[in-house]
């Protein structure tokens, strides 16, 4: 199985992958060198964000190379063979980065130890279950299997929404001015960009894979990743700086 892209489509995907790669690497360096600008207690959140973009940068390098290697004259091999485009890099990436992103949100709030622990112990297994349950549906070519695993992986996703919006909401009142709103926006960013993944998944179930659906899904995933990892990480840095200033660190911007 392969799809034939025209040269504009092929170049668009290729350049968007390159954009994803350097966005991840640049954000990694930026957040790493910004560590001394926040109080020590917020550096765990920041270094986790650096790891998320570092891991995603590695995967975009692999995706970029895999796409180039699997293509010839705009024809992209998608048959799961050794020379095919390896979509599974995204699953390996999510398996590592999605739990880290959730832990980051908790870590930057610097809540009481028991509260943090309880939230993390619920969010991390739920996010791992969400991704693990999506994978069998992604690799299956049977529509019933795809729908079954699509529904199954939606259950932990709903639970994550509940924990983030109901449970976490209770802790936001005690945050300094401005922080609660920024956390609120961060939560919306997470949910809005994560929405791209089930949409792409449904796209794969209902439609035959055409050149334009392939391009839409790949470009959509990459933009979602830049928002959910780079913009997200820079927002974490902003929150960490606001909280550091609120707690007496000199505001030097």
Interacting residues with a second copy (CB under 8 A) = 7-8, 10-11, 14-15, 18-19, 21-23, 25-26, 29-30, 32-35, 37, 39-41, 43-44, 47, 50-51, 54-55, 58-59, 62, 68, 71-74, 79-82, 86, 88-89, 91-92, 95-96, 107, 110, 139, 250, 252-253
81 vs 144, which CB is nearer to a second copy? Answer: 81
Return the closest-CA partner of residue 213 out of 89, 98, 76, 93. 76
For the bound state, the minimum distance from the C-beta of residue 250 to a second copy, rounded and expressed in Å, comes to 7
Return the closest-CA partner of residue 90 out of 126, 58, 137. 58
Return the closest-CA partner of residue 211 out of 219, 202, 221, 199. 219
For the bound state, the minimum distance from the C-beta of residue 115 to a second copy, rounded and expressed in Å, comes to 13
For the bound state, the minimum distance from the C-beta of residue 35 to a second copy, rounded and expressed in Å, comes to 7
For the bound state, the minimum distance from the C-beta of residue 33 to a second copy, rounded and expressed in Å, comes to 6
39 vs 172, which CB is nearer to a second copy? Answer: 39
For the bound state, the minimum distance from the C-beta of residue 157 to a second copy, rounded and expressed in Å, comes to 22
17 vs 201, which CB is nearer to a second copy? Answer: 17
Report long-range pairs for 174-178 (Cβ below 8 Å, ≥24 apart): 175/109, 175/243, 176/242, 176/243, 176/246, 177/246, 178/242
51 vs 98, which CB is nearer to a second copy? Answer: 51
The crossing angle, in degrees rounded to 10, of helices 7-33 and 232-246 is 20
Return the closest-CA partner of residue 229 out of 110, 91, 57, 32. 57
33 vs 199, which CB is nearer to a second copy? Answer: 33
């Amino acid at each position: 199985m392969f799809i034939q892209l025209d040269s504009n489509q092929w170049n668009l995907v290729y350049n968007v992958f390159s954009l994803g790669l350097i966005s991840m690497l640049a954000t990694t360096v930026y957040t790493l060198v910004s560590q001394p600008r926040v109080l020590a207690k917020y550096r765990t959140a920041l270094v986790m964000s650096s790891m998320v973009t570092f891991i995603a940068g590695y995967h975009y390098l692999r995706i970029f190379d895999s796409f180039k290697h699997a293509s010839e004259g705009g024809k992209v091999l998608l048959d799961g063979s050794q020379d095919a485009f390896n979509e599974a890099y995204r699953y390996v990436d999510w398996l590592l980065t999605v739990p880290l992103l959730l832990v980051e949100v908790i870590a930057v709030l610097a809540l009481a130890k028991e509260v943090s622990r309880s939230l993390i112990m619920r969010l991390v297994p739920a996010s791992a279950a969400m991704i693990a349950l999506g994978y069998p549906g992604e690799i299956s070519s049977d529509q019933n299997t795809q729908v079954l695993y699509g529904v199954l992986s939606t259950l932990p996703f709903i639970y994550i929404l509940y924990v983030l919006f109901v449970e976490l909401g209770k802790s936001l009142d005690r945050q300094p001015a401005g922080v609660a709103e920024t956390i609120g926006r961060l939560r919306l960013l997470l949910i809005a960009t994560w929405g791209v993944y089930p949409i792409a998944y449904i796209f794969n179930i209902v439609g035959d894979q055409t050149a334009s659906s392939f391009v839409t899904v790949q470009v959509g995933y990459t933009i979602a990743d830049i928002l959910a990892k780079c913009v997200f990480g820079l927002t974490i840095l902003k929150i960490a700086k606001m909280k550091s200033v609120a707690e007496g660190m000199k505001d030097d911007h």
